[in-house]
Amino acid sequence: MIFLRNENFRSYVRLYPITAMILAVNLIVFIFDALLLDKQLTERGMFYQEPELDRYGLSEPWRYVTSMVLHAGWEHLLFNCFSILVFAPPLEKLLGRIRYLTLYLAAGLAGNVLSAVVHAGIEYGSVGASGAIYGVFGAFLFLAVFRKFSIDEATRKTIYMTLIFGLIYSVLSPNINIWAHIGGGIAGLAMMGIIVAGKRGSKSRAQGGYR
């Protein structure tokens, strides 16, 4: 099962540097904001839209990205960091640093875009890495459904159960931005499909060159 983590701290950082960096940024930003800045970073960096003056939050477009490293509280932070800590390393190992980081950021951005479209008629604000995390889940869902041979049965079951639990929790919890989760998940699934198709195409061209 690829989600079992048994590395020590040094090995984790060495093997999964991008994941370690993402975790560090989330933790440092939260601690710095909460203890020293009285949540000023959250106010200036959270994703925010207002129906009359800024329907899609485009007047301050950086919020689409900065909101991904901000969290509403300790529970929110720790839950997201735990998800990244456990589920993200195998994807970084599988895709490599650049593709993995691209997928992670693109999924988070896609989650905010879908959320902005759905909430265009109301005043709405959100923070959190959940869209990006669901992008990781979506990438693994693609493998579980379309590339079953690439992961073991225990991993597939874990992916299915995690997504089912996550979606139920998102629906039942009033303060959860489920549309960011859905947008991130769809983006992660789609990007993994594109990556896999690209690898297969490259392999076919390479094989054709040797005929």
71 included as an active-site residue: no
Q: Which of the following is catalytic: 126, 170, 181, 202?
A: 181
Phi, psi (rounded to 5 degrees) for 152: -80, 170
Q: Which of the following is catalytic: 126, 130, 202, 204?
A: 130
173 included as an active-site residue: no
Phi, psi (rounded to 5 degrees) for 54: -150, 70
The residues that are catalytic are 130, 181
